[in-house]
Every structure is written in structure tokens, then in C-alpha cells.
């Protein structure tokens, strides 16, 4: 007799391997590796046939994931309608991650974080470019042939500060593209004073998805060539990292006055930024802008903090193959990696949804406040 | 020097081959064949870099398409926002189909008809199953591993008439899934008297997408094995047509009191139905139900007509490998193929959008009227 | 010590008199009379302070209401958000109507039927006239100085059939204006085949609210002069019934090919129409159109029926002071009173909401089907 | 022969007297006085019959309005759909205000500022109280019998800071109620970090409309007794200012830790606050909180400024009959009058809409940032 449980993942971003689904209360799965890579951590699948039963799902290879400490205190997300994602009871023990959930519907999705599909990405580009202040640019294509698209947003034809924002170099960090969606909604709000003021002063260059191939494949870290784009900025190539090469080329063409690279962090349960302290060209002006940025964001968002973050690099030791370090060093501008949690912001936790698309969008909108302060500070004159 | 024009199609349902895009006013393309098949007619691609220029696109292999007469009087559809699709000037001459259009945005999509992606399909299933009167069933999977999902919609636990509706056996006929979306919205309208009355009498079994593999691949007619599902009903197999086999098995389990198979017609510029007159078991009762169905739909929809359609089969000559013929003959019930145009309804033309998703949805909602009349006629007692 | 219960009604359409609200479980009220009139039945008020307590409200003068048989089987409506109105337990005994309800919010509204305010009326006029097929006409003003506005809806500049629709001669019959809202939404649906076909053939003249003064005052039957407009069509005057006079004048100017006067019935728990059988000019053609109208509406709406209705007039005995009789007799056209229930449609009851705004809107949309059939019948040539 | 122009104002907030409307290009009107008062400035009316013609409207008594300097640089607002209000060419010369506008629709509304009706007010109360963190309180009733309603919003049952916000003491300053709508939307945003953090710390007491009688009557400054509520706080009475008395009573019951009184200013083309510097109990702590509030709002909103405002009172000379002065003096808390322009914010002007409902709503949302900073400052410990 066969199980009624059906697990499927053959859709955009889907990622799981079923070992055994004969018994709902002992479903055994493993997370497939990223394309041409040993990294893995992203999972996303649909479970049918479990309505009303306690479904217990064991991720048997969890301990070998890219960030096994990411499973500590982590709760998986689930959705019936593919719009609202909520947390479900999850624990990590003896190297196995276990989700226990009794679905209320016959069809339910589970994921590492709320997905952001390539179709939604294309919808966002179309929606954005339909606004009068926005045009799209084709920067190039991925190894598999997907478009790398840049959004340019401004109200001015003249001289302006160039604010660059990139997201999803690591394709499984979908919160980064939700963040961009929120930032764009704010920029397009014709009544918002900060958006109105900034679009007269600035030209935003936004790449909402640096790694569409990896996103479609359900990868955590790499593109379809198995390459981690955020280690390619010193050695980008058409062969391995056309996504980075295309962006660097456009940066060289128009210039960079500020750069934010948006990420998700598997381990730390907070939002934070990482600056350029260890890059060769780091100076007092860059440091002052980093401080002003952080202090302003702190003042407007209890979802941001500065106590916890990455260890700071010593002078000259920063890894210039990382996007924010390379850009900061090259353009001597404010250049930050902004990290959001896969887990929750432990300073303002939300038991139902944890860190979420909605909260990512608000942070994306709120990041305009520190950008605005820095742009109008003495450091930019 | 390279052209600024960039044509891409590496997304769900995308289908085009670029021969030459050096000059915007002489873009040459061809339509790739369906997977493992010689059929082709469906195209769908994104064009970037043409804003404000007259873009002239020649489809050079149009004369060898599955239905070359389908190009006569046909206008291609375009969209900036991937939601609103409008017709653009198109002509067919000397075996070449030519679209001439000056895009107002940097990024524009062209297609044979408004697409319906697999992501939207999964969204629809989730949305539908979230209604209290609807549950999903996993019927099986395609050759490539996508789910074949059945929606069951009813308000009754007891005896009820079983109304079966299938759509997109031919995956390029996307209007069929738009039709289903409209029908479901009407069924879920808690205030609509026909929906309320029918859900107490009937159990709807709806397969919104019979051929998800073909849809993702941008096929017109076949699944990923190169098989035309609507010629498989006498010989369905797990190997070639698991989609059909799975539906037939469930039909055998629950029974069929009425069947509608939803399609698009490449050639005829009208909506029409095709019945079972030539099947061996055709009888006066089936004929009366066909007549009642058509007369009721005529009375409520100027988008329907009965003057133009397929030639009627002679007795016993109907092709039982076709879904509606096979089901009608097997279950001796009202069983129809419903066809919508790729072009327009010439009796009530709309120059801006032609036949459209919105009009398909309304026809899908309106089809409840004739179903209601037939179910409550003496023929069903 | 004073009661925490506060009942208020000083807002658009509000109508109640509090006798005693000291005890939540014994609230005593009476329904005020219409302006300058002895009619009364409409009530509408807000109750604060009753959250979580069983509130029992006695309408002590119910037996003297205009239609005391209207209370038999009647359930009052309530709303927390002023959008969704649901039925609450109500009984009529010994001449007293009693509502028993435990509110879930601190503030709750009760009414005879879901209200339709003058502000919403003005919003509807603005929304309607913003459509390209619609213009507004100022017909005149009420005794108190409110505008009587006519909406003209058509897609043609040339000859067309003139379809007249009036609503809320009796201002407490708010379902009539909900009905018009639904009809307008359908007419403005650019994809709906019946709407598209009819707007090329017809010119709709719609008066969504014949009696704005009465509506604001919370009257059931009369205007601010105490006059029942639906008894004024033989004797309309600037003094007493400027609303009727203004409409008759415009009818004379443009002509009438069909007329529907929309009402609510306090007593009968069904939807029905009342025709012109007793008017002097009634003839076979008018009778045939009445039959065609009713049969078509029956075919599309289980919320309509023809078994129950008003007693038919004998020849020549019809009351020509009634709008539909007067118009039918004057213009020898199809002319109907359409009645909806305050209670429910007992043939397809909905225990939660009874007859409702949403169902009224759908009936208003569906009435285009019979209009379409009559317009395209031989009777109109 | 009569003019086709029809001007009407018999609706909620309507206010105009027609002197002569015979010629569209020479329409002469005057603004009626507030109820029982000599103040006047608010106008609001509907004009029909002017489509496609240049309509020139002279307000002949403009020079005697409450704030004749308010007409300098002022542009009136207009709307076709009663939702989107835009500015129309207006000039003030020789004591007469003249609006010149060619309407695109048959029906158009003109007003001093985008209206906020009593119906919308009741809708807002219902919408707000449907949120789980909000309850309504009935504080009392106006002289005419309308409800004075208080919204209490919090996530805590325990000790919390009491933030009081009142709006529309002056009923014609409708931007104040739009401001509250925006503030409430932000407070109810379950994902917004500031809202989430504050609702655990604070209890908001919000009176969205202090003067419903005046609003319905189309008054600028006074209630139905002709009384300016913002001069009643030292002498409030059941007879003349029950609105103020009721609020003071509730303040005494629960306490006040911060108070914002929301207003519109007829003359100054900026947003600003006015503090308590001249009240007897003013001290360094209050001053520090005023400064922190202003500096925080400055940092997040280019629609706020501190250069222009009212002249500061000398010590002890402040008028304690004004709400913010009285509350600040009584409760020794941060207490501000917040003023928005009827004109535009001249530092960030918007030619199409000027200062608007949307911008008022955003300022209302943004005011949570300074509240949050003050609540979490050392001054509140
Ligand atoms: Ca654009
Ligand atoms: Ca369901
Ligand atoms: Ca119009
Ligand atoms: Ca509440």
C-alpha cells in the first residue's frame, strides 16, 4: 500500500530530495546541493495529502549544510496560498533538522524562507519600468541565458548622486529581493517627502536580482556555474561571473556615490550592516558616513541594530573579492553589505512569521532615511 | 557596432529563435518546434532596447506552422506590464508573419496569446483550495515530474452530479486556463444564485492545466514527450500520456455526468462548441442536451454562436481518441469541446484587445448558465 | 448609576427613538415616523457599550408600522464595519419586534436593511460619470435642495433604444440603489459581451436615487414633504413631488422604450416583477414582452421567480399614479416594478446575510440579460 | 433663458451661496458664515453643466474671511471623483478670490481643501475598532447629538505611556483627520517595527474628530453653538463645549504623557509645531522634549521644518485656553500644536496637488518617529 503523501519540487526555486514519504509522521528528505557546488541549505517543496495529520519531516543531511549553525533556533516557513508565509515548529538535534506541522489544507508549501520566483521578478521589472521615473537597462545575460536587468530611477536629467543597490548575489537570500520591492514602492510614492526629495538629487541604479539562474535552480549561494558571485569582484569573468562583470562595467561608465549590497544571513538573528573598515582606501570620511548611516537607521527602525555583526577586518585585510569591499575601495564611497536574518530579529521577535517579506519590504523602504541623511551631509559635497 | 535590440525568451513559456536583430526595423525570427514534435505556432518573447523606434519583426517560418491559415487576420499581442495584453499591427504575406510596433517602454513582451505561467497555475490552485468548498487532489505527475492537480468543488457531501472540466490539453491554448479562472471565481462567489444553487446539486471536477510540461516549454500542442494529449484518450499510457491516464482513472472512480474540454482554435474567429454526433453511443438525449446547452449559452452571451464550427462527423466516424468524443461515448453524457479564438470574436470584435483573458474569464463564468439548465432539465433525471 | 449603553442615530439615514437603555438586556426603543407622515418601518442606529453582553432590543411600536406583516419571519441586519451586514436573531410577538444579539465589538450598527448613504450616492455618481460612456444630467432639485441626478450611459451617438431605470422612490428600500450599483458595474465592464452589445444599441437613463431627501431623513416611504412619490405619477407637482415631475419631463423629451422601477418589498420573501396588465393601453405586445422578460430572468437567476407576486389588476383598474403603470400606459412599452425582499429569497435562503447588498448587485447586473432579450426580440422592431 | 450652470452644496460639509450663475465665465458666489459666528473661509460645492467651458468663479466676500492673508498664493482644490483632489488656477485680487477652471466632466466639486465627511469619519471608527489592538470609547455627545468617539490603541494591558492625539477642533481643517487616518494605518501595520515597538510601550488615545457638528455644517472654526473649541480649555462647559469637557474628563481619568493637537494653518505655506514655551509650568525637560521631537521629525521628513512658525510666547503669557498650552501646563508633558498648510509646503512644492490628503497621511504616519524617540529618551523615565 502506498502513502498518500506526495512531495514535489519541480517548479521555480524548488529544492528537495525525498528519501522516504511512506509515513506522514516519519518523512525523510535531504537537501540537494547547489548547482556544480557543495553548498546547500535552501529547500522549497510542496506537500500534498497531509491535511489534518501531524507531518514530521526530517532533513537528514542538515548537519552538512553550508551553515549548520543556521539551524540553531531556526523555524521553517510554510504557506497554503503562496502569499502568506508563517513559521512552523522546527528543531535541530543530532545533526538533523525536523519540522513538525499539521497542515490545514491538502496542499501546503514549506521553504527555508518565503520564495521570490523569476516570474515575480519579471513582473517587478515590468511594474517598475511602467513608472515615469524609471527605465530598464539590459546589462547582459547569465550563463544560462537569463537577462540581467538594471532599473534606473530618477526625476532629474542633470547631475545627480549615483546610488547603487544590488540584491540576491546569493540567490537563496530571497529577503533581499523583497527588500528591493519595498524600496521601489517607497521611491514610487509620489507623496512621500523623502522619495520626492531624493529623486531630484539622486539617480538610483538597482539590480533586483544579481543571480536569476541560481534562483530558478533553488540554489543558496551560487550561479549555474557553481560560482559564488560575492567572491568574484576582483576576478569577474564572462565565463564564470558575467553577472558581476556586467555590473562593474556599468558602474565604471556612470560612477558610484554609494553602494548597498543586500543579503540574508543564515546565522545571526538580527539586521546589521558590514562596512569597509579593512579596505586599503578606507578613510575618515568613509568611516563618518558609515556611522551616520547606522545612526540614522537606528533612529527610525527598531528592526536595526549595531551591537551584533561580522567581526571587523584589520586594516588592509578586507577581502576585495567581496562586492561591498571592492566597490568601497574602488570608488571611495559609502559601501555596505546589509544583512537580514533568515530567523527573526531577536530584539523585536514575531512568533508568527519571524523575519518576513513584509518586514524586509519595510526595511527596504526605511533605508531611504539613512541614504537621505548621508547624501545631504557635508561628506558628499 | 552591435544592435541595441535584445530579444530574450528564457522564461516560463518563452519561445523564439532570433535569426538577426541588428536592425530594429528588420528583425528576423523563427518559431521553434514543440518538444519532440514538428508542431509549432506558439511564440512568446521579451524585446528590450526598442523604445520609441518602429520595430518590425518578421517570423520567417510562419508558413510551416501547425495552422498557417491561423495567421490570416491574426494580430499578435503585446504587453508592457505582463498583465494588460493588447493587439499590435500584424500581417501575413508570402508565408511570412510580420509584426510592426513602436514600443513605448524599453521592455516589451510579444506573444501568440496572453500567457498563463506555471507559477500562476500554482497560485490559482492555492487560491482555489483555500476556499471552503474546494479541495485539491493529486492525480499523478507528468513525464518531467510536474504535478497533475484536480480541484473538487462542491457544497454537498451527498449524491451530486459530477461535472468534469479539463483545460489546456494543448498547452499553447492559454485562454483555456483563463476560462477556468473565470469559472472558479464565479463558483466561489458566495452571493451568486447560480453558483449557490449548483454547488448544492453538483460536484465539479476541474483540471485547470492538463499539460504543465508543454506550457513551461512554450509548446502549442504537445507534452514533453511530443505527444498530443487530445489524441490519446483511446490509448493513454503512463509512458506517453500519464496526464490523460490519470484523469481517466479518476473519472472511472467517481463517474461523469457532464464534460467540457476547453480549447483555443487557431483559425476560426468565433467561440463555438463541438459535440458528439458521430460517436457510436450518440442518442436523442445527448442531442437534446447539446441543443439545450447551446441555446442557453446563445441567450446569455453575444460572444457565443452556433453558425460556425467544425464539420459534423457522420455517425460512427467520430475520432474516439479525442477527449470529448471518448468521454461522451463512454459515459453517454453531455460532452463538449469548447473552442475560443486566438483572433477575436468577429461578431463582437474588440480592436484593442481582440479575444482576451478577461473575455475568456467571462465566458468561463457564463458557462455555468447552460450547465445549470442542463442539470435541471428532464434529461438528467 | 447610569447605563453603559449608548444608542445614537444622528447620521445619514439614522432613525430610532430610545425609550429606555438602562439595562442592556431590556432596551426599549420605538421607530420614529417618516417626515410629515404616519408611515414608519425603517430603523438604523449605532449601539455602543454592549460588547460581550446579550443586548435585547424591543421595538415597542412595531405593530403600528406601515407593514406589520413585514416583521413576520424578518431578521434585522447588523454590522461592525458598516460594510458587511449580517442577520441577527429577531422575533415578532405580541406586536413587539425583538432583536437579541451579543456584540463582539464596542460599537455596532443595526438597521432594517443595509443602508446606502447620500455620500455613497454622490460617490457613485462621480464614479459612474468618470467612465467614458457615461454623462450626468441635472434634472432638478428636491424640496430641501438636494440634486436629482440622471446618468446617461451609451456607446452610440445615433438612434438607440431608451431604457429607463429608477430606484428608491421609497427611500428606505436601499436594496434598490445597491441594485443600480451592480447594474452600472456590469454596464461598465468593457469585456462583458452583453454590456458591450447593448451599449451600441441602447441609451440607458438611470436615476439611482429618486428620493434623496427621504433617504437622509431615514424615511421608509416618503420625501421631505411627506409624499409617497410612487402615487404621484398622475399628479406630480413642483410643490409636492418635484422628483417625479423632473423625470417625467425628461422622459417626454427623449422617449421611453423600456422602464424598470426598482423597489423592495417588506412582506414577500422573494424577488418578483409587477407588470401593466390592468392599464388601459395594455396589449398583446406588452404582455409578450413581460413574458419574455420574466422567462429570461428565470433562466439565469435562481434568485428570481414568478409564482409569488402582487395580485394582478383587472383590466382598466390599474393605479396610474404608480410609476410603472403610468409609464407603461403612456409609452406603451415594457414597464415593470421590480421588487426585492427585505427578508430573504426563501427559494435560495442565506442564513447568514439574508437578502443582501451583494445579492441585490448581482440581480442588478443580471437584469441586463432579459433587457437584452427583449430589445432584440421582434417586439421592438 | 436660464443658465445651464447648477451649483449645489446641500451635502455633508457643503458651504456656498450663489449670487449669480447665469454666465459660466462670470459666476459670483459668497462664502456663508460659520454657524452662529462671524468666521468664514471654508467652501465646498458641486458645479454641474460646465463641461468644456471656462468657468470663472468669483468669491466676492473673500476679503472679509477669517484669514484674508490665507488667500495670497492659495490655489483651490477640485475633484471629479471625490477621491483625487487637484489644484486649480486661483488668484486673489482687490479682495476677491477668483477660480478659473475648464471642467472635463459635467459634474465637478470645488473646495477649500479635500473634505472629510462624517460618513467617512464613522467608517474610519469602524475600520479602526475592527483591529484587535483598538477599542472605541463613547466620550459624550455634541450639542446637536453627534457622538464624540475616542479610539484607544495598544498591545499592552499593563502600565504604558499615554499618548493623546486630537484633531479637527477646527472642523474646516480636514487635513487633520487625514493625518489621523495615516497615523492609524501605520499603527495597525503589523510588520512596522516602530508601530510594533510602541504599541507595547504606549497607549494611544486618539480623537479623530473633535468637532463633528462643525464639520457637517461646513464650518471653518466653530461648533454648532458658534464656539471655537480651541479657546475653551480653561472654561469648557457642557453648554458650549461638551467636546472639550469630555476629553478633559477622560484625560484626568487616565493621565497624559504626551499630547499632539492636529491643525491646519490658513496662511503659512509650511508644516510646523507650536510648543509650550510661554506656559507657567514650562521647564527644561519640556523644552528638551520639544527639541528632540522637532529634530527627529526634521531628520525623517523634508515636509517638516522649524524656520517658520508662530511667534513664541513670552514666559507666562501663553493662552491657556488653547488645548496644547492647557494640556502641557496641566500635565507637564510634551504638548504640541501641529499645523499643516492649506496651501502647499513651499520647501517641497507639488504643483498638481499642493498639500494633500496623501501627504497629510504620510506626515501622520511619520509623526510616530519623533514620538518614539521622545518616549525612549531619558526625559520619560
Ligand atoms: Ca518607465
Ligand atoms: Ca479548500
Ligand atoms: Ca463620463
Ligand atoms: Ca477592536
pLDDT tens across D216-252, in order?
A: 999 999 999 999 999 999 999 999 999 999 999 999 9
- How high does pLDDT run on average in chain D? 96
Give the model's confidence band at A1: pLDDT under 50 very low, under 70 low, under 90 confident, else very high.
very low
Spatial CA neighbour of A153 closest among A125, A174, A175 = A125
Cβ atoms of C154 and C160 closer than 8 Å: yes
Predicted confidence at residue D1, as pLDDT, reads 37
Residue C335, pLDDT > 60, answer yes
Catalytic residue (choose from B339, B346, B352, B358) = B339
Do chains A and D touch by CB distance (3+ pairs < 8 Å)? yes
Residue A28: HSE in the Cβ half-sphere, 13 Å Cα cutoff: 5
Domain range for A48: 6-111
CB neighbourhood size of D4 (10 A): 15
Looking at the fold, whether B176 and B144 belong to one and the same domain comes out as yes
- B123 lies in a domain? yes
Predicted confidence at residue D273, as pLDDT, reads 98
Predicted confidence at residue A316, as pLDDT, reads 74
Looking at the fold, whether A158 and A294 belong to one and the same domain comes out as yes
Spatial CA neighbour of C52 closest among C104, C109, C108, C107 = C104
The Cα–Cα gap between C312 and C305 comes to: 16
b/e sequence C69-92, b meaning 16+ C-beta within 10 Å: ebbeebbbbbbbbbebbbbbebeb
**Torsion sign across C-alpha atoms C121, C126, C131, C136:** positive
Name which of A6-20, C260-274, D282-296, D316-330 the model is least confident about. Answer: D316-330
Ligand 1 centroid to Cα of residue A185, in Å, is 14
**pLDDT tens, C84-127?**
999 999 999 999 999 999 999 999 999 999 999 999 999 999 99
A295: Cβ contacts below 8 Å, ≥ 6 apart: none
Enclosing H/E stretch for C262: strand C258-265
Touching D (3+ Cβ pairs <8 A), the chains are: A, C
Taking residues C206-224, report their average pLDDT. 98
Domain final residue pick, C91, C111, C131: C111
The Cα–Cα gap between A332 and A325 comes to: 10
Test the B interface: residue of C193, C270, C354 with most B CBs within 10 Å: C193
First to last CA, chain B: 74
Looking at the fold, whether C42 and C183 belong to one and the same domain comes out as no
Cβ-nearest to C192 among B296, B362, B373: B362
Residue C259: strand pairing partners: C164, C335
- B381 lies in a domain? no
Enclosing H/E stretch for C326: helix C323-331
The Cα–Cα gap between A81 and B130 comes to: 7
Looking at the fold, whether C250 and C171 belong to one and the same domain comes out as yes
b/e sequence A114-147, b meaning 16+ C-beta within 10 Å: bbbbbbbbbbbbbbbbbeebbbbbbbbbbbeebb
Residue B21, all three cell numbers: 536583430
- A1 lies in a domain? no
Judging by DSSP bridges, how do beta strands C6-8 and C44-48 pair with one another?
Answer: antiparallel
Residue A344, pLDDT > 90, answer yes
Taking residues A377-381, report their average pLDDT. 90
Q: What angle do CA C116, C354, C13 make, to 5 degrees?
A: 20
Give the model's confidence band at C4: pLDDT under 50 very low, under 70 low, under 90 confident, else very high.
confident
Ligand 3 centroid to Cα of residue D106, in Å, is 8
Residue D36, all three cell numbers: 452662529
Instruction: State whether residue B358 is helix, strand or coil.
Output: helix
b/e sequence B64-92, b meaning 16+ C-beta within 10 Å: ebbbbebbeebbbbbbbbbebbbbbebeb
Any idea what the CATH number is for the domain that residue B97 is in? Answer: 2.60.40.3120
Residue B244, pLDDT > 70, answer yes
Give the model's confidence band at D318: pLDDT under 50 very low, under 70 low, under 90 confident, else very high.
confident
Domain final residue pick, A73, A94, A111: A111
Spatial CA neighbour of D149 closest among D135, D161, D158, D139 = D139
Give catalytic residues of D, as residue numbers: 339
**pLDDT tens, A230-244?**
999 999 999 999 999
The Cα–Cα gap between D230 and D319 comes to: 10
Please report which residue ranges of D222-346 form alpha helices under DSSP H.
242-254, 284-300, 323-331
- B1 lies in a domain? no
b/e sequence B241-270, b meaning 16+ C-beta within 10 Å: bbbbbbbbebbeeeebbbbbbbbbbbbbbb
Taking residues B143-153, report their average pLDDT. 98
Looking at the fold, whether C177 and C103 belong to one and the same domain comes out as no
Test the A interface: residue of D186, D292, D298, D300 with most A CBs within 10 Å: D300
Residue B316, pLDDT > 90, answer no
Predicted confidence at residue C1, as pLDDT, reads 37
The DSSP annotation for C350-366 comes to -TTTSS-HHHHHHHHHH
Cβ atoms of B86 and B353 closer than 8 Å: yes
Q: Do B146 and A117 make contact, defined as CB atoms within 8 angstroms?
A: no
Looking at the fold, whether C122 and C107 belong to one and the same domain comes out as no
Q: Name the pTM for this structure.
A: 0.96
The residue ranking higher by pLDDT, B95 or C317, is B95
Spatial CA neighbour of C45 closest among C84, C18, C26, C65 = C18
Residue A86, pLDDT > 90, answer yes
Predicted confidence at residue D314, as pLDDT, reads 73
Taking residues C175-194, report their average pLDDT. 98
**pLDDT tens, A110-162?**
999 999 999 999 999 999 999 999 999 999 999 999 999 999 999 999 889 99
Residue C32: HSE in the Cβ half-sphere, 13 Å Cα cutoff: 16
Residue C314, pLDDT > 80, answer no
**pLDDT tens, C367-379?**
999 999 999 999 9
Predicted confidence at residue A381, as pLDDT, reads 74
Give D215 to chain A, closest Cα distance, Å: 26
% chain A with pLDDT above 70: 99
Residue C344, all three cell numbers: 430573504
Looking at the fold, whether D318 and D301 belong to one and the same domain comes out as yes
CB neighbourhood size of C25 (10 A): 11
Cβ-nearest to D144 among C10, C49, C144: C10
Calculate the CA dihedral of residues D13, D17, D20, D24 and round it to 10 degrees.
-20
Beta strands (DSSP E) in A76-155 are: 76-79, 86-88, 90-93, 96-101, 107-111, 134-141, 147-153
What ipTM, to 2 d.p.?
A: 0.96
C-beta pairs of A70-76 under 8 Å, 24+ apart in sequence:
A70/A41, A70/A266, A70/A267, A70/A342, A70/A343, A71/A97, A72/A267, A73/A269, A73/A343, A74/A342, A74/A343, A75/A343, A75/A344, A75/A354, A76/A110, A76/A111, A76/A112
Predicted confidence at residue C35, as pLDDT, reads 97
The Cα–Cα gap between A136 and A149 comes to: 7
% chain D with pLDDT above 70: 99
Enclosing H/E stretch for C337: strand C334-341
Judging by DSSP bridges, how do beta strands A55-59 and A27-30 pair with one another?
Answer: parallel
First to last CA, chain D: 74
Active-site residue, A339 included: yes
The DSSP annotation for B113-131 comes to S----HHHHHHHHHHHHTS
- How high does pLDDT run on average in chain C? 96
Enclosing H/E stretch for B248: helix B242-254
Please report which residue ranges of chain A form alpha helices under DSSP H.
118-129, 175-187, 193-201, 212-217, 242-254, 284-300, 323-331, 357-366, 368-375
Residue C322, pLDDT > 70, answer yes
Give B63 to chain A, closest Cα distance, Å: 28
Q: Give me the sheet containing C86-88, strands edge to edge.
A: C6-8, C44-48, C107-111, C76-79, C86-88
- C381 lies in a domain? no
Residue A372, pLDDT > 80, answer yes
b/e sequence B316-339, b meaning 16+ C-beta within 10 Å: eebebbbbbbbbbbbbbbbbbbbb
Looking at the fold, whether A82 and A152 belong to one and the same domain comes out as no
DSSP letter at A356 equals -
Looking at the fold, whether A94 and A186 belong to one and the same domain comes out as no
D246: Cβ contacts below 8 Å, ≥ 6 apart: D139, D140, D148
Q: Which residues of D touch A197 (CB under 8 A)?
A: 302, 348
- B273 lies in a domain? yes
Give the model's confidence band at A3: pLDDT under 50 very low, under 70 low, under 90 confident, else very high.
low
Predicted confidence at residue C3, as pLDDT, reads 59
Taking residues B285-289, report their average pLDDT. 97
Q: What angle do CA D377, D380, D381 make, to 5 degrees?
A: 100
Domain final residue pick, B77, B111, B145: B111
Name which of B263-267, C316-320, D32-36, D51-55 the model is least confident about. Answer: C316-320
Test the A interface: residue of D114, D193, D377 with most A CBs within 10 Å: D193
Enclosing H/E stretch for A335: strand A334-341
A109: Cβ contacts below 8 Å, ≥ 6 apart: A44, A45, A46, A47, A78, A79, A80, A82, B126
Question: How many domains is chain B built from?
Answer: 2
Any idea what the CATH number is for the domain that residue B140 is in? Answer: 3.40.630.10
Spatial CA neighbour of D131 closest among D187, D175, D88, D80 = D187
- A258 lies in a domain? yes
Looking at the fold, whether D92 and D126 belong to one and the same domain comes out as no
Looking at the fold, whether B65 and B173 belong to one and the same domain comes out as no
Touching A (3+ Cβ pairs <8 A), the chains are: B, D
- How high does pLDDT run on average in chain B? 96
Taking residues A358-374, report their average pLDDT. 98
Looking at the fold, whether B73 and B176 belong to one and the same domain comes out as no
Predicted confidence at residue D61, as pLDDT, reads 98
Q: Which residue of chain C is at minimal alpha-carbon distance from D12?
A: C119
Residue B1, pLDDT > 50, answer no
Catalytic residue (choose from C53, C141, C339, C346) = C339
**pLDDT tens, B317-346?**
789 999 999 999 999 999 999 999 999 999
- D220 lies in a domain? yes
Cβ atoms of A321 and A231 closer than 8 Å: yes
Q: Which residues of B touch C359 (CB under 8 A)?
A: 191, 193
Residue B211, pLDDT > 80, answer yes
Amino acid at each position: 500500500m502506498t502513502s498518500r503523501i506526495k512531495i514535489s519540487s519541480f517548479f521555480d526555486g524548488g529544492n528537495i530530495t525525498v528519501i522516504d514519504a511512506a509515513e506522514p509522521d516519519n518523512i525523510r528528505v535531504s537537501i540537494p546541493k547547489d548547482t556544480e557546488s557543495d553548498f546547500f541549505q535552501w529547500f522549497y517543496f510542496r506537500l500534498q495529502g497531509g491535511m489534518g495529520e501531524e507531518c514530521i519531516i526530517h532533513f537528514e543531511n542538515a548537519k552538512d549544510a553550508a551553515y549548520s549553525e543556521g539551524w540553531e533556533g531556526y523555524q521553517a516557513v510554510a504557506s497554503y496560498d503562496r502569499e502568506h508565509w508563517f513559521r512552523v515548529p522546527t528543531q535541530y538535534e543530532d545533526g538533523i533538522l525536523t519540522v513538525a506541522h499539521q497542515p490545514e489544507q491538502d496542499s501546503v508549501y514549506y521553504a527555508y524562507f518565503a520564495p521570490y520566483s523569476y516570474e515575480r521578478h519579471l513582473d517587478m521589472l515590468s511594474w517598475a519600468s511602467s513608472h515615469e521615473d524609471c527605465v530598464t537597462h539590459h546589462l547582459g545575460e547569465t550563463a544560462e541565458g537569463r537577462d540581467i536587468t538594471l532599473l534606473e530611477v530618477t526625476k532629474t536629467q542633470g547631475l545627480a548622486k549615483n546610488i547603487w543597490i544590488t540584491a540576491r548575489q546569493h540567490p537563496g537570500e530571497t529577503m533581499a529581493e523583497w527588500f528591493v520591492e519595498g524600496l521601489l514602492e517607497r521611491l514610487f510614492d509620489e507623496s512621500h517627502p523623502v522619495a520626492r526629495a531624493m529623486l531630484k538629487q539622486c539617480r538610483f541604479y538597482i539590480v533586483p536580482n544579481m543571480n536569476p539562474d541560481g534562483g530558478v535552480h533553488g540554489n543558496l549561494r551560487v550561479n549555474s556555474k557553481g560560482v559564488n558571485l560575492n567572491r568574484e569582484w576582483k576576478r569577474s569573468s564572462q565565463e564564470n561571473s558575467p553577472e558581476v562583470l556586467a555590473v562593474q562595467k556599468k558602474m565604471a561608465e556612470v560612477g558610484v556615490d554609494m553602494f548597498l549590497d543586500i543579503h540574508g544571513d543564515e546565522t545571526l538573528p538580527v539586521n546589521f550592516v558590514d562596512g569597509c573598515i579593512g579596505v586599503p582606501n578606507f578613510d575618515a570620511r568613509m568611516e563618518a558616513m558609515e556611522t551616520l548611516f547606522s545612526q540614522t537607521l537606528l533612529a527610525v527602525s527598531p528592526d536595526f541594530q549595531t551591537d551584533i555583526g561580522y567581526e571587523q577586518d584589520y586594516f588592509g585585510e578586507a577581502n576585495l573579492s567581496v562586492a561591498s569591499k571592492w566597490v568601497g575601495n574602488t570608488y571611495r564611497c559609502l559601501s555596505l553589505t546589509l544583512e537580514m536574518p533568515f530567523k527573526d530579529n531577536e530584539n523585536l521577535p514575531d512568533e508568527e512569521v519571524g523575519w518576513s517579506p513584509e518586514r524586509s519590504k519595510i526595511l527596504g523602504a526605511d533605508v531611504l532615511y539613512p541614504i537621505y541623511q548621508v547624501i545631504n551631509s557635508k561628506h558628499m559635497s
